[in-house]
Amino acid sequence: MRLAELSNIRSGYTARGKLEPVLTGGRPALQLRDVVVKGEALAPDSQRYDLGKLADRYLVQGGEVVFRSRGEPNIAVAIRDPLPEPAAVIVPLVVIRPDRKKLLPEYLAWAINQPDAQRKLGAEAQGTSIRMIPMAALENLEIAVPDLPKQKRIIELDNLVRREGQLLRQLAAQREAFMSAILGEAANAADHKEPA
């Protein structure tokens, strides 16, 4: 099914100039730099910004998906549900509100991040120096929609695969540190060995 048939898709808020953090008041905001980790549920940072009164379409409360429409990579992340308070989403981020009767947010983010979907979006990309995915390309993206229990299993499996990758990288780093320490001790012992 087309993504537009499964969700409500809106651009984020267009800020007038650079966002400056405020010490009191304001609200949390998601910016392009916040969407960097592939496939992990996202929560806004603790910085707050004075954005005035914003329409609900620019806010996330949890359970939405945020998509990076500009730059690379053009990934999607699910917003942790629930958030402590609504957060503003700043352009060039796009807010995708899935129909929760048909799509889990985590599954939707996973589906958008799959190589086939990324190739389709990439084929529609515009711009030479800064890549941009047009809203129409996102709206027309075809998403496979298994039933909700199967979506949940796919997300659980994906989480296990990512965790396995993290553990393997940690193991390799520890093995390398261990081998370096042993080789260092061996070299040190050889240097201090008294001649016969």
Same domain, 82 and 43: yes
Helix, strand, coil fractions of the chain, as percent rounded to 5: 40, 20, 40
The backbone torsions φ and ψ at residue 166, rounded to the nearest 5 degrees and listed phi first, read -60, -45
Contact yes or no for 93/12 (Cβ under 8 A): yes
pTM: 0.83
Same domain, 196 and 110: no
Provide the domain count of the chain: 2
Same domain, 194 and 101: no
Same domain, 15 and 87: yes
The domain in which residue 17 lies consists of: 3-145
d(CA 56, CA 64): 13
Same domain, 133 and 162: no
Q: Which residues pair with 10 in a beta bridge?
A: 95
Same domain, 112 and 76: yes
Task: Residue 22: count other Cβ atoms within 10 Å of its Cβ.
Answer: 13
Same domain, 87 and 169: no
The backbone torsions φ and ψ at residue 48, rounded to the nearest 5 degrees and listed phi first, read -120, 150
Same domain, 42 and 75: yes
Percent of the chain topping pLDDT 70: 94
Token pair listed for 122: 């990439």
Q: Per residue in 81-138, pLDDT tens?
A: 888 899 999 999 999 999 999 999 999 999 999 999 999 999 999 988 889 999 999 9
Q: Per residue in 31-44, pLDDT tens?
A: 888 887 655 666 77
3-class DSSP assignment, residue 66: strand
Same domain, 32 and 99: yes
Same domain, 42 and 89: yes
Residue appearing with tokens 């809106």: 10
Same domain, 182 and 99: no
